[in-house]
Amino acid sequence: MPDRRRRGFVLLTLAASVIFGLSALHVPRTTDVVSSDVAAWKIATTGSPWLDDAHDDAALPDKWTTDYLFTTTNPDNGEKVIARSAGPIIVAIPAYVVQRLLTGGDSADVVSFVPASLTAALLAVIALLLLAGSIPRSVPLPVTVAGAAALAFTTPYWTVVGASLWPHTVTAVGIGGMAWAAHRERWWLVGLFGGVAMVGRLHLALTVAVLGLVVAFARRRPRIALEVAATSVPAIGLLAVWGHWFYGSWSPTTGYAAGDLAAWPATRTWWQQLGDLAGVFVSPGYGVLVWTPVLLLVAPAFVRSWRTAPDWTRGLALGGLVYLLVQVYLNPYHGGNGFWGYRLPLEALCCAFPLIMVSLHRMGARARAWLTPVLGYQLGTIALGAALGLGLVQRTASWGWRHYTIASAAQASVAVVLVMIVLGLVTAYVARGWLRESLAEAEPVEAPAPGRVA
């Protein structure tokens, strides 16, 4: 069995590496990603984050100039600097250092987005393997591998996490690591990976806290929560140091000033905020249930398994939900432009993945019958955007409610859309019998008894 399991994970690794690697060659379409890439390039080539407009404008490709990037001014020295999350900047620096060494320093005069995008592909594979490795062995290996492949290739995990270096790429590694460590009851490591997630999105501290508290309460062991806190809190200090270097402030919010974080909620009434929350799930342009309808099929099994599922899967899923609610409160639900699918709910999706996987054996006959066709549809629609390097371009705040993205793409090329969806459905048809038999072999995964010692 160990050899068979190893082969399954190697196959998953190879497939994800090739597919994400090829997708990463598309040029990023969004200011968020390009801004982070430029900051990493700047640090790797000059040793400091300060922008030089004349030099950097000449180095940037295509239409990009520093005027298009998200920037601010460091009040301590008056230097212009990128204003973005620390996570994607930090993890891309090594790739740009390698590029500089390979080019003999020539990369200092030309910005390439490839090093950052390939870093995203690598981290997406690592996060995927961590999530797959968190699934208990009572779930059949084919189901584990198929579930990880479904997350990787039938959701915007492919087109966002694996294609460009967003904060979601960093948070996926952190969440995957938390799941992997929680399954093995290494609580100090849960906190350490939680710190990685927080470097990508600071308010994922809520997810880390919820996970630690839920497991500590379920097992009557407060020490678990303390271990998680002890190894995750240092990430806040790291962000404070980063913020002081970049922005002349000890605030751990780094590139996001407190006033900016409060600006969006201040413009929204409670009714509008409820509409934003609905938009996350059902808006035609960005809705999770529009792009990932398989969640509707697994939801009943999710509910049936709640009480008996491992406590850490419940804690992680709850933490992901809390994070999503705060995220929608702080930001427009659509998440902007330049990506295919949705992006803001990706952390919550990754957090729910282990609980979904241990719940699959509770799916009813009809849900199992529809599982592979729905996944096939998702595969086709996601592959469409990944293959063509598509990105959403909204023009109004209500765009996500007024435009169905797949239909909009069909207006440009009906044939391509149909081919992609048909390929996805054919793949699902081929896999349906194999997956159904594997699900039938799944065993219930029960929560540990209170007071269990790891």
pLDDT digits (tens, 9 = 90+) for 259-274: 566 666 767 778 888 8
- Classified as helix, coil or strand, 26 is coil
Number of domains present in the structure of the chain? 2
- Which domain-ending residue is among 96, 115, 134? 115
Question: Which residues, in sequence order, are CB contacts of 340 under 8 Å at separation 6+?
Answer: 156, 159, 160, 382, 384, 385, 386, 390, 391, 392, 405
Q: With bands split at pLDDT 50, 70 and 90, how would you rate the model's confidence at 108? A: confident
337-367 pLDDT, tens per residue?
Answer: 788 889 999 999 999 999 999 999 898 888 8
- Give the SS3 label for residue 352: helix
Q: Where residue 453 falls among pLDDT bands split at 50, 70, 90? A: very low
Q: Residue 171's closest CA among 123, 217, 138, 215?
A: 123
Give the residue, 266 or 451, on which the prediction is more confident.
Answer: 266
pLDDT tens digit string along 379-430? 888 988 887 777 665 555 555 665 666 666 655 566 666 776 677 777 777 6
Per the model's pLDDT, the better-predicted residue between 270 and 48 turns out to be 48
Same domain, 85 and 128: no
Q: How far apart are the first and last CA of the chain?
A: 24
pLDDT at 305 over 90: yes
| Domain membership flag for residue 392 | yes
The residue out of 95, 115, 135 marking a domain boundary is 115
* Domain identity same for 83 and 149: no
Place of tokens 């955007």: 385
pLDDT of the residue at 262? 62
Are 99 and 235 found together in one domain? no
Angle between helices 294-304 and 365-388 in degrees, nearest 10: 140
Question: 451 pLDDT exceeds 50?
Answer: no
DSSP label at 39? H
Q: 88 and 207 share a domain? A: no
Q: What is the CA radius of gyration of the chain?
A: 22
What's the pLDDT tens digit per position in 171-201?
999 999 999 999 999 999 999 999 999 999 9
Is 19 inside a domain boundary? no
Separation between Cα atoms, residue 307 and residue 369, nearest integer Å: 25
Asked whether residue 289 is domain-assigned, the answer is: yes
110 and 236 together in one domain: no
Identify whether 129 is part of a domain.
Answer: yes
Q: Mapping DSSP to helix (H, G, I), strand (E, B) and coil, where does residue 213 land? A: helix
**Is the same domain home to 213 and 187?**
yes
Using alpha carbons, select from 145, 125, 162 the residue that is nearest to residue 343.
Answer: 162
- Pairing of β 80-82 and β 71-73: antiparallel
The answer on 66 and 154 residing in a single domain is no
Do 88 and 149 belong together in one domain? no
In the block, which residue shows the tokens 């998702």? 378
Assess contact for 179 and 157: CB atoms under 8 A.
no
CA distance linking residue 58 with residue 43, whole number of Å: 17
H or E segment and range at residue 72:
strand 71-73
Look up residue 41 and give its two tokens: 């390039």
pLDDT of residue 370: 86
Q: Is residue 4 part of a domain?
A: no
The C-alpha atoms of residue 410 and residue 162 are separated, in whole angstroms, by 24
Q: Of 50, 84, 115, which residue is a domain's last? A: 115
* Residue 274 confidence (pLDDT): 86
Q: Tell me phi and psi for residue 452, to 5 degrees.
A: -60, 140
- Looking at the structure, tell me whether residues 210 and 97 fall in a common domain: no
Distance of CA 250 to the CA centre of its chain: 27
Q: Looking at the structure, do residues 110 and 124 belong to the same domain, yes or no?
A: no
Dmax over CA atoms of the chain, in Å, equals: 65
User: Are 175 and 86 within one domain?
Assistant: no
Asked whether residue 54 falls in the same domain as residue 149, the answer is: no
User: d(Cα 445, Cα 14) in Å, to the nearest integer?
Assistant: 29
The total number of residues shown for the chain amounts to: 454
Calpha distance 311→309 (Å, rounded): 6
Tell me if 11 is assigned to some domain: no
**Residue 374: closest CA among 296, 441, 300:** 296
CB–CB of 295/245 below 8 Å?
no
Q: What is the pLDDT of residue 333?
A: 82
369: which residues sit within 8 A by CB, 6+ positions away?
A: none
pTM for this prediction: 0.91
Q: How many helices (H) and strands (E) does the chain have?
A: 21, 2
Domain residue limits at 233: 117-440
Q: 238: closest CA among 275, 186, 267, 200? A: 200
Q: What pLDDT shows up at residue 172? A: 98
Residue 18 located in a structural domain = no
Instruction: Report whether 213 contacts 221 (CB < 8 A).
Output: no
- Judged against a pLDDT cut of 80, whether residue 452 lies above it is answered with no
| 178 in a structural domain | yes
- The CA distance from 350 to 418, in Å, is 29
Mean residue pLDDT across the chain: 87
Q: Which residue has the higher pLDDT, 107 or 73?
A: 73
Torsion of CA 136, 139, 140, 146, to 10 degrees: -90
Q: Helices 141-153 and 365-388, interaxial angle, to 10°?
A: 40
Six token digits for residue 46: 């000059």
31: pLDDT strictly greater than 70: yes
Contact of 131 with 350, CB cutoff 8 Å: yes
Please give the C-alpha separations between residue 54 and each of 66, 73, 172, in angstroms, as whole numbers. 9, 16, 36
